[in-house]
Structure 1
């Protein structure tokens, strides 16, 4: 198949190493020209001060790389926190996006109960309903701030947050109703709450998908595996995005060595294995990664 579609390859640099110099070197060796920034030197992106942001920007620039997204933790918190807590983190993420030259900020839609890492079911309807109105009100405020800054927020369908299944993800984007809030599609996270991503969610969510986070998982046990080795329908996802004319970022987030509620780690070797697995799928689909 002739490659006539090009996507921009990126990846969560801190899944490789805490040092952004090593992050950029490994990603560059894998053919990526961008890095998704979640943390640097062991400090989360929203906790880096201005000097830290300037140092990070210089490191990435010196490596000849760009930044695909600010992988913030915004919305990975309890709704009982005051609204100002996440607004403060959003302000720092917007500052990071400005300094690092990114037009995207990844975020979430709040824990609705204490997350249970062993559970592979989605939130109960009653647990989600209790927080819905306040969650969507706060997310509307976030979208307004992002719009004023010329930045697009992309919601990730994380496990055990309000937007963990397609129906509630759709509720978020339709209710907020802002072009500054779109979706980061994560196949593995859908699988881990019992959803078949394409079969159960693609048709209604496709118009809002603007960013692809690349990882896969098995329905049987929720284990994260390289792209194409699980039940995340990565092949179908790639084909659907290609056919829809997608030309944005595909960001590797392998989670192959260790992961928690706040992030994951793979190391350089496992990250490389994940990158090669994904490139095999995109090559077969006629998609060039650049």
Structure 2
């Protein structure tokens, strides 16, 4: 029996949301996380399209665990030169720093329409001196919580290698500065590994375990670039990571974020394989 349910980031499988719902039923995945659907970022979809997503999820008995928004995945004007080592992918979104309050409000609105408890956010594109942006990031997160909390939505800050808070060690002091119950960590150990650390166990030891509200799962090898693979077959150490989450009392979900191109370039099949592998790893944790 799984200690916590597997969810999936839907666009890792397909842009066709109904096909995703059907697949989730077939492979026993109860919850979905939405980032892009029908080739649009979730925050840019019309109300009618968002309602269609909710209707399809309800029809197939799936819940929406989170809105994987592009909030704060942009250049902060006080940040200085951008660290060019990392690819900057905003997943079909093109919003400026000035747009962020509007984008955040829309993400919260979409979350409420979908009955999703979490809106994922970032920490601005990584600069060559990320520590210089710590205070502005704290201020932005405080403002985000003030917008989201009255609507019952939790802000989930993801550690992201292309952003200023790429590891648990970098995230911890920021979360400590904003001790609000509606702000937590979306923990992604693979992102930490891409940043040059060992996501598990080394960087996980730095994580505020009681502030983890969601987990993203992908796997690969990172000594020389990024080579993605089936979850559990790479260097992230998912068996140990999942056991540690259980021991630390984690009660949320874990979303498949495949990244792997799949067998023969079939990413849909690769995502199915990753979901099944993650289910087996959780059951054994």
TM-score calculated relative to the size of structure 2: 0.87
Q: Which residue does 1:252 correspond to in 2?
A: 256
Residue 184 of structure 1, CA deviation: 0.9
Matched, 1:154 2:151: no
Say which is worse superposed, 206-215 or 97-106, in terms of deviation: 206-215
Q: How does 1:136-175 map to 2 (within 5 A)?
A: 136-175=138-177
CA distance in 1, matches of 2:49, 2:221: 38
Of residues 35, 47, 60, the one that matches 2:44 is 47
Quote the offset at 1:173 in angstroms. Answer: 0.7
Aligned to 2:110: 96
Q: Output the CA distance in 2 between the equivalents of 1:82 and 1:18.
A: 25
Structure 1 unpaired stretches of 5+: 114-123, 259-264, 286-290
The equivalent residue for 1:120 is none
Count of matched residue positions in the alignment of Structure 1 and Structure 2:
264
The residue correspondences of 1:131-280 to structure 2 (distance < 5 A) are: 131-205=133-207, 206-221=209-224, 222-257=226-261, 267-280=267-280
CA distance in 2, matches of 1:43, 1:49: 10
Q: Provide the C-alpha distance between the structure 2 equivalents of 1:110 and 1:171, rounded to a whole number of angstroms.
A: 16
* SS of the residue 2:201 aligns to: helix
Contact between 1:35 and 1:67, CA under 8 Å: does it hold in 2? yes
The answer to whether the 8 A contact 1:20-1:41 is kept is: yes
What SS does structure 2 have at the residue aligned with 1:17?
coil
Q: Return the alpha-carbon distance in structure 1 between the equivalents of residues 29 and 284 of structure 2.
A: 18
TM-fit CA distance, 1:257: 1.7
Q: RMSD value over aligned CA atoms?
A: 1.9
**Which protein, 1 or 2, shows the higher relative CO under an 8 Å CA cutoff with sep ≥ 6?**
1
Distance 1:170 1:58 in 2: 38
* CA distance in structure 2 between the partners assigned to 1:166 and 1:200 by the alignment: 10
TM-fit CA distance, 1:153: 1.0
Find the aligned partners of 1:47 and 1:99 in 2 and give their Cα distance. Answer: 14
With structure 1 as the length reference, what TM-score do the two structures score? 0.86
